[in-house]
A and B are shown apart, each in its own frame.
Chain A
């Protein structure tokens, strides 16, 4: 069964640094998402992406964040000038269509020191 993959599995960075989290969505899926989960808290929506543009974003997804689909397979989340509170598990996800179930990648655990 096809799966969403993410790299790296863990990332440690210093406050103020930039990080890029990478994802390869399921190949026939058209909608891509980033979610995050701070330890002990619920999964939170960050952004959805379709047809090479952002379709929806949450209040969390401010100017510090950006997404890109640089080629036909990768989907990236860039976090500029990281803050301590950005420490979380970041999940990439994809779906065939809007409103259908979403498949999640294994996540990247980001720790900002």
Chain B
């Protein structure tokens, strides 16, 4: 099992759609979890942290299931500006960030 595995994508959705990204991780001792977004040829930028209780930030909702070693990101009412690659990031017991390969989202007008 890969350390961090994401939906391969790409996802193409119309404006206003709801889209969900899934991620699994292999190290059960992982400590922290994040979603980053990366625009083409730019640096990754923190979108949100992921907490066990689940957390929401506007149109974005992140969920963590430690038992299943599964993380999700839900985007509601998607905007053109949401087009980017979404990166699942897991922090291991050695505090090293491990990135998934990312899922490309394109929101179409």
Contacts and interface: CB of A to CB of B under 8 A. Distances in A.
B98 A48 contact: no
A11 to B, nearest CB: 15
Contacts of B34: 101
B57 interface: no
Interface of B is mostly: strand
Contact of A99 (B32, B43, B99): B32
Contact of B43 (A31, A44, A55, A105): A105
Interface in A45-71: 45, 48, 55-56, 58
Interface of A is mostly: strand
Contacts of B96: 45, 48, 56, 58
Contacts, number: 48
B87 A106 contact: no
Interface of B: 31-32, 34, 38, 41-46, 49, 87, 91, 94-102
A35 B99 CA distance: 10
Contacts of B32: 99-100
Contacts of B101: 41-42
Contacts of B46: 101-103
Nearest to B46: A101
Given A99-B31, A99-B32, A101-B34, A107 B98 contact: no
Interface string A64-83: 00000000000000000000
Interface in A4-34: 31, 33
Contact of A45 (B41, B49, B87, B97): B97
B43 A42 contact: no
